[in-house]
Amino acid sequence: MSNIFSEPNVETSLPSTLNVATSNLFNLVDKNQDINVRAQIVYDRARAISRAYALTAEDVVYLRPKFWALHTDHIAPLDGAAMTLITIQYNLAAGTLAPYAFKRPELRPLLQQIMNFDVSAQYLLSEVGHGLDSPHLETTATLLADGSFDLHTPNPRAAKWMPPTGPYGNMPRIATVMARLMVNGEDRGVRPFVVALGNGKEMCKGVSAKVLPTRAGANPVDHAITYFDHVHLPKEALLGSLEKPHDLRQNFLDVIWRVGVGSLALSNLTVAALRASVYVAGKYSIRRTVTGADGKPLPIIAFRTQQLPILHTLAQTFVLDAYGKDAAQRFGAADLDPRVRHGIAATLKAVMVQHCQSDLYSLAERCGAQGLFEHNQIIQSQLEMRGVAIAEGDVLALCIRLASELLIGRYEMPEPADPNSILARHEAGLFEEARTVVMGLGAGHRSEAFNRLVLPLCQPLIESIGHRMAYDAAVKARVPQPIINLYVANAVKHDASWYVEHAALTRRKIAEMEDKAASTLLPQIDELLEATGAGPYCHAPIVSDTTWKAFVDSLPHFGGAAQINLIPGTEQGVLETAPAKL
């Protein structure tokens, strides 16, 4: 599929979703509502966001700027479930179908329905028994004598896992289903098939779904376990050739190529989550006060322990935004080795997920009890990002695969723009350490010794590449130096022992690096919060006195005239008049 990257860059004006975000559709949803009603709201939101962007098939296939922008849009944190539906719809389902539809006119009406969001499109790859080892999936599509196919789930382990396939959304449901093509008893590798699942109210014959419970902290989506009982598909349902490929493994990677795109695209959702969450925590910290030593109100942002999580997240937001754009540009290079393309996506995901999970936990904690409530946005984003860490490739698994291939010399990642930067030196140092371990094993990369001694090194190694690439991207994008300095200080803290051992730093010097960078940025904290652009999309009540009052006024209010005498011979009541003061 590498030839799809050959289209020249196309300048695109990006749409605004602010009108959608501020519409009644995005009002806070009563969690006590029927789950079917809430699920319908998620589908309605997904359709509204999609139609605001009005992506074309060419936007999706050629990875134009509008496609990437959708995944960093400020509206994304308002409903992670809606974004889940959107990225499956466009990146996976439409992205897989479109290259075939460009050559096959009979597929174009279906593709247009997907692009219009007139149907809900899903992507069925993983199975109950096959997640990380999905090349060994067991769902079969058997060629029949007339050229049609028998799509079948042969056992419970082969049931498709997670994609939303239930009879929800009030629109037809279709899917790109990955199945093993069987011809005269011969396994010809995995192929995509287009399959009708249901009409939005009931399932199609031979298709059944067991809807899973709602994910913790997420808006309801009908994630399901899906089964096919000898579903008869027309010959046109096959996307691709009947011929057996020369390399079954490479064929599998080719047919699921949009999963790699998804690793990069979904990772960019973390930028939107960080923007929204740091805006909420920052505004709350400026507004919230305690009583100072002089008896006067003191904003909690005055405390360094409050400042650091917010300033670090702000720095990472701007640096990661630059990194995401740089990675997308590199990813789309037509002459790039596909393995390096995978590496770019895996590295970006490792670093974005690392920063996001750490930052969102700290931000929620610094908001105290307020950080525990979904309506204040942070903890909900935190839980949604847990899903991002797993979707389109579990971070740890991606890191192990990439690091292993780099260590045995199969290919190389893009070199540092500045090999003498402290982060580039750290990356080189970790590689040297890991290669020394590998060379000392005297065994292959599938040995037990490799498992014990090298696998634990893989994720930190890939994160070190990502920190360096993020730094390079920020410098290239001319992100203000004080922001870059704080980003570097945070990256150093992630592996302080290496810098103490190899970079002539001490614990005190590392703390001083952080202190100097944070002190430089602190006077601009209001400006930086507004520069995130998250303000107009924010619905968290704690960001201002006005929104907090409106929230409190909207809460259920209970009163009454009950009387309980806690201590015999005494009464508790209400004073008719104010008592005289002592």
18 Cβ contact partners less than 8 Å away, ≥ 6 residues apart: 74, 536, 537
Enumerate long-range contacts of 372-378, CB under 8 Å, 24 or more apart.
374/31, 374/217, 375/28, 375/539, 375/540, 375/541, 375/551, 376/280, 376/284, 376/540, 376/541, 376/542, 377/77, 377/276, 377/277, 377/280, 377/538, 377/539, 377/540, 378/277, 378/280, 378/281, 378/540
The angle that helices 481-494 and 422-441 make with each other, rounded to 10 degrees, is: 30
Please state, in angstroms and as integers, the Cα–Cα distance from residue 558 to each residue in 29, 343, 562, following that order: 21, 57, 12
Task: For residue 569, give every residue at least 6 positions away whose Cβ sits within 8 Å of its Cβ, in sequence order, or none.
Answer: none
In CATH, what number is assigned to the domain containing residue 7?
A: 2.40.110.10
**Rounded to an integer, what distance in angstroms lies between the CA atom of residue 96 and that of residue 111?**
10
Query: Which residues touch 406 (CB under 8 Å, ≥6 apart)?
Result: 343, 412, 413, 431, 461
Q: Are 228 and 337 contained in the same domain? A: no
264 phi and psi angles, rounded to 5 deg: -75, -45
Helix axes 338-366, 395-407, angle to 10 degrees: 140
Taking a C-beta distance cutoff of 8 angstroms, is the pair 413, 465 a contact?
yes
Answer for the pair 33, 87: CB distance below 8 angstroms, yes or no.
no
Asked if 464 and 367 sit in the same domain, the reply is yes
Half-sphere exposure in the Cβ direction for 356 (13 Å, CA)? 33
Whole-angstrom distance, CA of residue 458 vs CA of residue 494: 15
- Residue 54 belongs to domain spanning: 2-255
Last residue of a domain, one of 206, 226, 255: 255
Residues 389 and 494 in one domain: yes
Q: How far is CA 489 from CA 134, 366, 467, in A?
A: 39, 21, 11
Kindly state whether residue 171 falls inside one of the protein's structural domains: yes
Predicted pLDDT of residue 178: 99
CB atoms within 10 A of CB 125: 26
Q: Which DSSP state fits 130?
A: B
Give, for 210, the enclosing helix (H) or strand (E). strand 207-211
Asked whether residue 406 falls in the same domain as residue 525, the answer is yes
Residue finishing a domain among 255, 288, 303: 255
Domains of the chain: total: 2
Instruction: Catalogue the E-assigned strands of 277-410.
Output: 289-291, 297-299
Instruction: Note whether residue 280 is domain-resident.
Output: yes
Q: Which of 255, 288, 321 is the last residue of a domain?
A: 255
What confidence tens digit (pLDDT) does each residue in 542-552 have?
999 999 999 99
Q: Based on the domain organization, do 270 and 192 belong to the same domain?
A: no
For residue 273, give the nearest of 356, 216, 213 by alpha carbon.
356
Clarify whether residues 159 and 201 are in a common domain. yes
Rounded distance between C-alpha atoms, residue 262 and residue 264, angstroms: 5
Low-confidence stretches of the chain (pLDDT < 70) are: 1-12, 443-445, 582
- SS3 of 383-400: the string is HHHHHHHHCCCCHHHHHH
In a domain, 556, yes or no: no
In angstroms, rounded to a whole number, what is the distance separating the alpha carbons of residues 86 and 50?
7
**544 inside domain:** no
pTM of the model: 0.94
Residue type, position 234, single letter = P
Tokens of 417: 């723009």
Burial label, 578 (beta-carbon count in 10 A; 0-12, 13-18, 19+): exposed
Confidence at residue 14, expressed as pLDDT on a 0 to 100 scale: 86
Instruction: Compute the Cα dihedral for 301, 373, 68, 339 and give only its sign.
Output: positive
* Angle (nearest 5°) at CA 352 between 349 and 357: 115
Decide: 96 and 192 in contact? Cβ < 8 Å.
yes
| 289 within domain boundaries | yes
* 239 and 180 co-located in one domain: yes
CATH of the domain at 507: 1.20.140.10
Q: How many CB atoms lie within 10 A of CB 93?
A: 28
In a domain, residue 553? The reply is: no
Same domain, 195 and 286: no
Burial 306-327 (b: 16+ CB within 10 A, else e): bbbbbbbbbbbbbbbbbbbbbb
Residues 449, 371 share a domain: yes
Query: If 0-12 CB within 10 Å is exposed, 13-18 middle and 19+ buried, where does residue 227 land?
Result: buried
Looking at the structure, tell me whether residues 298 and 206 fall in a common domain. Answer: no
Cα distance between residue 49 and residue 15, in whole Å: 10
Residue 570 lies in a domain: no
Beta partners for 180?
140, 190
CA gyration radius for the chain?
27
How many angstroms separate the CA atoms of 78 and 28, rounded?
9
191 and 293 inside one domain: no
Closest CA to 422 of 340, 308, 510: 510
Are 267 and 210 in the same domain? no
Q: Within a domain: residue 418?
A: yes
How far apart (Å, rounded) are the C-alpha atoms in residues 559 and 178? 58
